[in-house]
Amino acid sequence: MRKYNASKRILVTGGAGFLGSHLVDRLLARGDEVVCVDNLFTGTKRNIEHVLDHKHFEFLRHDVTFPLYLEVDEIYNLACPASPIHYQHDPVQTTKTSVHGAINMLGLAKRTRARIFQASTSEVYGDPVVHPQPESYWGNVNTVGIRSCYDEGKRCAETLFFDYYRQHNLDIRVARIFNTYGPRMHPNDGRVVSNFIVQALKGEDITIYGEGQQTRSFCYVDDLIDGIIRFMDLPRGRDGEPGFPGPVNLGNPGEFSIRQLAEKIIALTGSPSKLVFQRLPEDDPIQRQPDIRLAKDKLNWIPSISLDEGLSQTIEYFDKLLAN
């Protein structure tokens, strides 16, 4: 039986994206062989150009809604646009990416007996009526709204993963990822951290939807990648049975209002930007905060990077990006 502390051949779908490229870096750094798959809809080669010549790295331009035939030991399924601007651009394709992509990657894992990770999302909780959100909460999701292509696509993907786990004894790991930020975010992805930083650095008005009292929890990307890898590296159960499948929340439990975030970014950038307020979008959650007790217990994981520290590093990245 393969030992999970040995060098592995690992497939990362969505590997040229924000989270995927950081995961690729971490896996290469520890000596794994990485196959990065991305259709470059929201990912970019800029995120992986520094590893294109790495002897253990391979890039394959491919859409996961079509089958893929490779020999791999592990699969990290991160392929799907994650920002509202991008996933609402082609909502049918977004749902197909989550559902058909999951079916194709699970089929590959079944054939190769690979351990497989699913990047699920806090959006499966919808606009929650339970706060903070534990994994036992089933959510409050609009099935027919403009965000449903992403929310329901990810919920269906979770269903598929757990059905493969029960029906085919597949070794799955499902993580519900909360708001994550850091270098390599797309400057025009419409997410609140990148939006505010870009607007502040340009000296533009900072756009806040609603009154800015809605809350979010922001996890720096390095902390998140650490949690994902800890999860995947958990050993199997007795007699080679699949290990702990999740779902498990991964996010920073620090809770901030959107207005607080904007004010922090203005202070850190020294920007003259002013706050302007617009109508709250449909189905925008009022509160979002992870209960991470399960991650602490099962993964011995807790985020360590403060919001101020993480924002400073992210601002530095965007400052250089906008200067070019």
Sign of the Cα torsion 145, 146, 147, 151 reads positive
Find where tokens 């749902």 sit.
Answer: 95
Q: Report the 10 Å Cβ neighbour count for 236.
A: 14
Contacts of 198 by beta carbon, 8 Å cutoff, 6+ apart: 187, 188, 318, 322
Q: Which of 76, 87, 125, 150 is catalytic?
A: 150
Q: Report the 10 Å Cβ neighbour count for 279.
A: 8
In the annotation, is 209 catalytic? no
Between CA 309 and CA 315, with CA 311 as vertex, the angle to 5 degrees is 125
Strand partners, 180: 219
Question: E-assigned strands of the chain?
Answer: 9-13, 33-38, 57-61, 74-77, 115-121, 172-177, 180-181, 206-209, 215-217, 219-220, 248-250, 255-257, 275-278
DSSP annotation of 51 reads G
Which amino acid is located at 255 in the chain? E
HSE at residue 184, side-chain half, CA atoms within 13 A, is 24
Three-class DSSP category at 200: helix
How far, rounded to the nearest angstrom, does the alpha carbon of residue 323 sit from its chain's CA centroid? 27
Cα(234)–Cα(33) distance, integer angstroms: 19
Identify the burial level of 310 via C-beta atoms within 10 angstroms of its C-beta, where 0-12 means exposed, 13-18 middle and 19 or more buried. buried
Active-site residues, by number, are 150
